[in-house]
Amino acid sequence: MRVVDLIEKKREKQELTKEEISFLLSEYLKGNVPDYQMSSFLMATYFNDMTADELLEFTTIMRDSGDTIKFDEIDKFLVDKHSTGGVGDKVTVVLAPVLAALGMGTAKLSGKGLGHTGGTIDKFESIDGFKFSNTRDELVSVANKTGIGLMGYSDKIVPLDKKLYSLRDVTGTVPSIPLIASSIMSKKLAIQSDVIILDVKVGDGAFMKDIEHAKELAKRMIEIGKDAGRKVKVVLSNMDEPLGYSIGNANEITEAIETLKGNGPEDLKEIVYAIASLALKAKGEIKELSEGKSKIEEVINNGSALKKLSEFISESGGNGNLVNDYNLFPQPKSMTEVFSEKDGYVSKIKAEEIGKAAMNIGAGRATKEDIIDHAVGIKILKKVGDKVNKGEKIAEIYYNDDKNVNNSRSMILDAYVIQSDKVDKQKAILEIIE
């Protein structure tokens, strides 16, 4: 079997056999297929797609390229929620304790952020002393005590994905829907769970810029899950403005805590409620998603979800009392205000630009080597649909180093699109696909 023949076959839109896909990927992982040949194959895939059989085999081999993790010792209905990433996305911080309070468990791998703001790990690491589980046994121990099991990605989990992603990144093939689907689902299939719920962000601050491509990605991931014998649900959520009001790390944890106290922003609540309701339905506790709201509100109103977060922080080495004392978070030295330069209504907030403005002051990473400043961040004060007067405050920048503050201010002003005509508020949930 020759690699060049497989490249030509994909170029000519012919379906590859399981044996051919297995040969290509296993030989590439061993280092026997050069990057230039795999690059050609990825580009042919970018233009010619994959069949359902090809995609399942491709994803399965990626999953089996490393360790798989089972959680037989956790006696809970396990939910693996994944987000494709977005600006101000602190859903996991709210969702995991809500699910725990509802009697379910979270067992998922979380990542650090690159670009924009931090990932879930970065957000929690803004808590002094907090350490994520490094091993499966540590995760099981914390999950059994709190219902929340989060662990950082390991090089031993789907190593083939890491190798392929690095190549996709430099060959212009990152946006390929089958390659995105296999990348996400190979990691989801490597971890035991009872249901996989995918939050696919759509819009300016997301990887998927339009609803049609997002739907296609959702369809392919559900298809992979079904063929692999796993339940997969998808929420398409709006990222044409940041989620919530806080963008950063410590400030996003604070906003998440406020949400667990019943004071959260409506768009964040909408997404958390939708995902938690999908989990309840998958478990069989409700028949219609609308039935989930009262159950979720009960665990927020009685404080049990907040207590779960406090317990998780304590079990992970942090001070669980910070849910009541925000001074325990790292504090920024300075704050500057951003004022609107025109009258009108906010018609759009370019989420990616806000994310870059936060990264500029240290809240995110431009390179893997960059160190995140957990104390800094941005708070936006106006959302899409809000009326704004010239000279009215629209954002606050919290920082420790002032060298990029003016640049961040300019980026925030550029991100706010203000028009004279009244604008409707945006929906956080665009569609739910089961």
Task: Please state, as a whole number, how many other Cβ atoms lie within 10 Å of the Cβ of residue 213.
Answer: 16
The confidence score (pLDDT) of residue 116 equals 54
Instruction: Give residue 287's identity as a one-letter amino acid code.
Output: K
The two three-digit tokens of residue 147, written as one number = 């219902």
Quote the distance between the C-alpha of residue 359 and its chain's center.
Answer: 17
For the stretch 229-254, pLDDT in tens is: 999 999 999 998 999 999 999 999 99
CA–CA gap between residue 369 and residue 196 (Å, rounded): 31
pLDDT-flagged residues of the chain (< 50): 114-115
Active site residues: 82, 161, 168, 183, 187
Specify the pLDDT at position 13.
96
Q: What domains are defined for the chain?
A: 3-48 (1.20.970.10), 78-324 (3.40.1030.10), 333-419 (3.90.1170.30)
CA distances from 215 to 40, 49, 176, 404 (A): 27, 16, 14, 38
Residue type, 321: N
Residue 114: per-residue pLDDT: 46
Predicted pLDDT of residue 405:
97
Residue 186 amino acid letter: S
Per residue in 338-360, pLDDT (tens digit) is: 999 999 999 999 998 999 999 99
Report the C-alpha gap between 15 and 228 in whole angstroms. Answer: 20
User: 114 by DSSP, 3-state: which?
Assistant: coil
Q: Which one-letter amino acid corresponds to residue 415?
A: A
Q: Which residues contact 290 (CB under 8 A, 6 or more apart)?
A: 277
158 neighbors 65 (Cβ within 8 angstroms): yes
